[in-house]
Amino acid sequence: MGCTRMAEKDPQSTGRDPGVCIPWQEKMKDLPEIKGDPEIVKRVWEDVDSLAYIYIWHCLESF
Amino acid sequence: MPDSMQQLYDERLKRYTTAMRNEKPDRIPIRPFVAEWTAKYAGYTIQEITHDYELAFAAARKCAADFDWDAVVGNMVYVWTGLTQAIGIKYYATPGVDLPPETAFQYKEPPEDEAFMQPDEYDRLIADPTEFLFNVWLPRVSTEVSAEGEPTSLRNNMSFLKGGMAMLSYFSSFGEQGARLKEESGTVSAIAGMLKTPFDILADKLRGYVGLVMDLHTQPDKVLKACEALMPHLCHVALAGADPEKNVPITVWMHRGGVPFVSPEQFKYYYWATMKPIIEEIWSHGHQVLFYAEGNWTAHLESFAELPEGSIIYHVDQADPIETHKVLGDRFCISGGIPNFTLSYGTPDDVRAACKRVIDGVAKDGGYIMDASAIMQDDTDTENLRALTEFTREYGVY
């Protein structure tokens, strides 16, 4: 799911992608070396992060 | 769920989706967008259904069951003021708080100099819309959220916690509401997922209408870039809430691109140029979009006709459904077009005549869904709505 054609990034832009508040790449820098499966950590971070994204955009659009 | 209820639901879903694909079902589906009227019919105050969404859900279920409609929205009042109060949103006038308990909630657009986004803030919005919303917009629209540089507070923290929990609770409950509509009355949940256009978001929630039309003259390039920056986000939110079965449409609630709010050139260059790609993207994912075209959009019908066949359902408000059908009817399903004035202040015979005119002029070959022009609030007369329902059920058989 995603708006791929519209989300092609302008190299000048610092904006977050749709669905993202705090990108995984940014959060990763806070963490020690991951001893287990990094993909699980990344996936769950992004899933929960997307809820915050939905929150602010629905505040704007729906309420 | 008894087999007969499942069968009833399946028949209604087929009827509704067949019409939405601009084909001919067994009869015209009835899908009324009933909002505050549900409170009146079910015996609640408007304050009760606006502030307690479980009561709004109960009212919607009662109306769906009693009127035997094909499809309804789980809660057409939609704005749950318990949630907006938890966040501290200050642009609503709330029934029972700011307004009498029998008055529908109101949206208060701020004066131009107090707009939630100031004219010199386009660059920050364009650079990172999500950051702008959290750090600039939300503190301005909320009585609770601390602005940048201000110390945090218990109320700031509680706004995010309570707002997040309340939104999750509310949105999750629509799943159960859909299941209950299906099990208790065989009624289809009419829509899933919501979209606003970039231009409408700028007009409604950021710059305000007056501020935005001034910007169209003083900094038009920034307006266009802002609309473009909003596009992928609005598209993403629409798809995130869409029906995974791809049966029912995402709805776009259209406001400020109609006549007379912008000129035809402004419509094409700003409104349509940044709306059309979103609709095409959504269609590429297999979802239809219901154009809830509030007001009069007749001047722009030729633009809508550019869209892929079957990609939208076009809802008629302040326009002639027959004229609309002449332009769009061979490509898209039409819905609505029964005047709210007639439903509120006419007689049942007036309503039957209005329905007959629209059915004869629009629905001959299918591709029509019966509904009022605009969302029905508490001024809608119950006997008139009953006349719409019964007449369509009898006369609208193919």
Q: Identify the contact set of chain A against chain B, taking CB-CB distances under 8 A.
A: 1-3, 5-7, 13-21, 51-63
Report CB contact under 8 Å: A59, B138: yes
Phi and psi at B318, nearest 5°, equal -90, 55
Mutation target for A interface from B76, B79, B108, B130: give the one with most A CBs within 10 A: B130
Share of chain B above pLDDT 70, in %: 100
Confidence of residue A2 (pLDDT cuts 50, 70, 90): low
Averaged pLDDT, A16-45: 96
Report CB contact under 8 Å: A21, B196: no
Which helix (H) or strand (E) covers residue B60, if one does? helix B53-67
Averaged pLDDT, B321-338: 98
Closest residue to A55, CB basis, from B164, B234, B236: B164
ipTM of the complex in this document: 0.96
CA distance A5 to chain B (A): 8
CA distance B196 to chain A (A): 7
Residue B206 pLDDT > 60, yes or no?
yes
The beta-strand segments (E) located in chain B are: 71-72, 92-93, 106-107, 188-189, 194-195, 250-254, 289-293, 312-316, 333-336, 368-369
CB contact set of B284 (below 8 Å; sequence gap of 6+): none
Single out the residue of B280, B278, B290 nearest to residue B254, CA to CA: B290
Residue B20 pLDDT > 70, yes or no?
yes
CA distance B47 to chain A (A): 17
Instruction: Give the separation between CA B295 and CA B319, rounded to whole angstroms.
Output: 8
* Location of structure tokens 């007009």: B203
Residues of B in contact with A6 (CB under 8 A): 231-232, 235, 277-278, 281
Report CB contact under 8 Å: A57, B237: yes
Number of helical (H) and strand (E) elements in chain A, helices listed first: 2, 0
Q: Residue A42 corresponds to which tokens in the numbers above? A: 């990344």
Residues of A in contact with B78 (CB under 8 A): 62
Single out the residue of B209, B196, B276, B287 nearest to residue B250, CA to CA: B287
CA distance A34 to chain B (A): 28
Averaged pLDDT, B301-310: 98
Q: Residue A13 corresponds to which tokens in the numbers above? A: 């832009």
Sequence spans of domains, chain A: 24-61
Sequence spans of domains, chain B: 3-395
Single out the residue of B255, B275, B259, B367 nearest to residue B321, CA to CA: B367
Q: Tell me which CATH code domain B3-395 carries.
A: 3.20.20.210
Report CB contact under 8 Å: A60, B205: yes
The pLDDT, as a whole number, for residue A15 is 74
Residue pLDDT, tens place only, B222-256: 999 999 999 999 999 999 999 999 999 999 999 99
Q: Identify the contact set of chain B against chain A, taking CB-CB distances under 8 A.
A: 78-80, 83-84, 87, 89, 127-131, 133-134, 137-138, 141, 163-164, 167-168, 171, 194-196, 201, 205, 229, 231-237, 239-240, 277-278, 281, 285
Residue A14 pLDDT > 70, yes or no?
no
Share of chain B above pLDDT 90, in %: 99
Confidence of residue B3 (pLDDT cuts 50, 70, 90): confident
Single out the residue of B193, B207, B32 nearest to residue B115, CA to CA: B207
Residue pLDDT, tens place only, B133-189: 999 999 999 999 999 999 999 999 999 999 999 999 999 999 999 999 999 999 999
What are B296's strand-pairing partners? B259
Share of chain A above pLDDT 90, in %: 76
Single out the residue of B205, B196, B236, B234 nearest to residue B89, CA to CA: B205
Confidence of residue B365 (pLDDT cuts 50, 70, 90): very high
Report CB contact under 8 Å: A63, B87: yes
Residue B285 pLDDT > 70, yes or no?
yes
* Maximum pairwise Cα distance, chain A: 42
Shortest CA distance from B195: residue in chain A? A61
Report CB contact under 8 Å: B240, A54: yes
**Mean pLDDT, chain B, as a whole number?**
97
Which helix (H) or strand (E) covers residue B1, if one does? none
The pLDDT, as a whole number, for residue A7 is 60
Radius of gyration of chain B measured on its C-alpha atoms:
21
The pLDDT, as a whole number, for residue A1 is 54
The pLDDT, as a whole number, for residue A12 is 52
Averaged pLDDT, A25-36: 95
Cis peptide before B260 (omega within 30 of 0): yes
Confidence of residue A4 (pLDDT cuts 50, 70, 90): low
Report CB contact under 8 Å: A62, B133: no
The pLDDT, as a whole number, for residue B273 is 98
